[in-house]
Amino acid sequence: MKGRITLTMIKPHAIEDGNLGNILAKIQMAGFKISALKMLRLRLNQAQEFYKIHEGRDFYKPLTEFMSNGPIVAAILEKDNAVEDFRKLIGATDPSTAQEGTIRKLFGLNTRENAVHGSDSDENARIEADFFFSLLERY
Least Cα distance to 37 among 1, 10, 67 occurs for: 10
Decide: is 23 part of the binding site for ligand CMP (CB under 6 A): no
Distances from the Cα of 24 to the Cα of 43, 63, 115, angstroms: 24, 22, 12
Q: In what helix (H) or strand (E) does residue 12 lie, and over which residues does it extend?
A: helix 12-16
* Of 63 and 73, CB closest to ligand CMP: 63
Q: How many residues bind ligand CMP (CB under 6 A)?
A: 9
Question: Is residue 13 among the annotated active site residues?
Answer: no
Distance in Å, CB of 125 to ligand CMP, minimum? 12
With CB under 6 A as the contact rule, the residue among 105, 114, 115, 133 that binds ligand CMP is 114
The binding site for ligand CMP (CB under 6 A) comprises 54, 59, 63, 93, 111-112, 114, 117-118
